[in-house]
Amino acid sequence: GIHESMIKDRVRTDAYREAIMLHQKFIEGKVVMDVGCGTGILSVFCARAGAKRVYAVDASEIATQASEIVKANNLADKIVVIHGRVEDVDVEEKVDVIISEWMGYMLLYESMLPSVLFARDKWLKPGGLILPSHATLFMAPITNSDRYEGSVDFWCDVYGINMSALVPLAKKFASEEPSIEIVGGENVISWPFVVKHIDCYTFTVEEFKSITTTYKVSSMMLAPIHGFGLWFEVEFNGPAESCSNLSSDSSPLDIIQKKRRRASDSTVVLSTAPEDEPTHWHQTILYFPDPIGVTQDQIIEGSVTITPSEENPRCLNIHLECSTGGQNLVKDFAMR
Instruction: Give catalytic residue positions.
Output: 101, 110
For residues 246 and 255, the answer to whether their CB atoms sit within 8 Å is: yes
Question: In angstroms, rounded to a whole number, what is the distance separating the alpha carbons of residues 323 and 299?
Answer: 8
Nearest to 89 by CA among 50, 108, 63: 63
CA distances in angstroms from 210 to 114, 118, 248, 304, 309, listed in the order given: 13, 18, 15, 11, 10
Nearest CA to 14 among 269, 186, 327? 269
Decide: 247 and 122 in contact? Cβ < 8 Å. no
Tell me if residue 13 falls in helix, strand or coil: helix
Question: Containing H/E element for 43?
Answer: helix 41-48
**Cβ-based neighbour number of residue 156 at 10 Å:** 14
Answer yes or no: are the C-beta atoms of 106 and 137 closer than 8 Å.
yes
Secondary structure percentages of the chain, helix, strand, coil, to 5: 30, 35, 35
Closest CA to 237 of 213, 268, 209, 258: 268
Residue 160, C-beta contacts closer than 8 angstroms, at least 6 positions apart: none
Contacts of 273 (CB under 8 A, 6+ apart): 138, 185, 192, 231, 233
